Amino acid sequence: MISQDQMLLLPLWYAVFLMAITFHEAAHAFVAYRFGDPTAYHGGQVSLNPLPHIAREPFGTVLVPLLTYVLMGWTMGWASAPYDPEWERRHPRRAAAMAAAGPLANLLLAIIAFMILKAGLAKGLWLVPAAPQFDQLVIAAAPGGVAEGFGRLLSVMLGLNLLLFVFNLIPFPPLDGGSVAAGLWQSARNLHDRMRASGMGNLIGLLLAWMIVRRLFLPLLRIAVGWLYA
């Protein structure tokens, strides 16, 4: 269980998570719509309003992220945008672009957070902390003001979106990376379809991705933080 001080940060973490997941799914839906599949558009998912995404996946967008934060101190969850499987079959490269759009939306949010933090450090709004944390990459030059909370929000925004970018691009179903690979290479498509058709295959894909992501994400985060402080 988390401490009382960490509990006070729950609204901040959840707000960042909800923004990240909404951008991710809206990007999927928008690219699919532009490439000829209006399924998510008709479902209301081509939107930066989180409510349609929450309505589609309340368990993954509300209950699981709040529960994981209370139990572990960080948010985990999911959302989804509907698509037409027949459209995916007929246009595998378009489907690959749709799948890649979600993680790339998270990368864009991470870059935006990085640039604001970098500018704030250059202007003296924030300082480099003695012991940086995932949710506190900077400290306010004048503690207690709006800059302190905004710095923490941007820290979580950078780290969480970078994590979602890396995790979702790992090429195993049911992750987006599996769909990207399946849309680009027929051999990957055959394996992807077999795994995705099985609940056990999807579970194995998630477990493998979870084992791999820590080896990829932490070095990438260290590089990003090094650039931030440079």
Catalytic residues: 25
What number of other Cβ atoms are within 10 A of residue 219's Cβ?
10
Strand (E) or helix (H) holding 140: strand 139-140
Encoded tokens for 38: 């209006």
Q: Is 144 left (phi over 0), alpha (psi -120 to 50) or beta?
A: left
Rounded Cα gap, residues 8 and 170, in angstroms: 33
Q: Exposed, middle or buried by CB within 10 Å (0-12, 13-18, 19+), for 29?
A: buried
C-alpha dihedral sign at 15, 98, 115, 49: negative
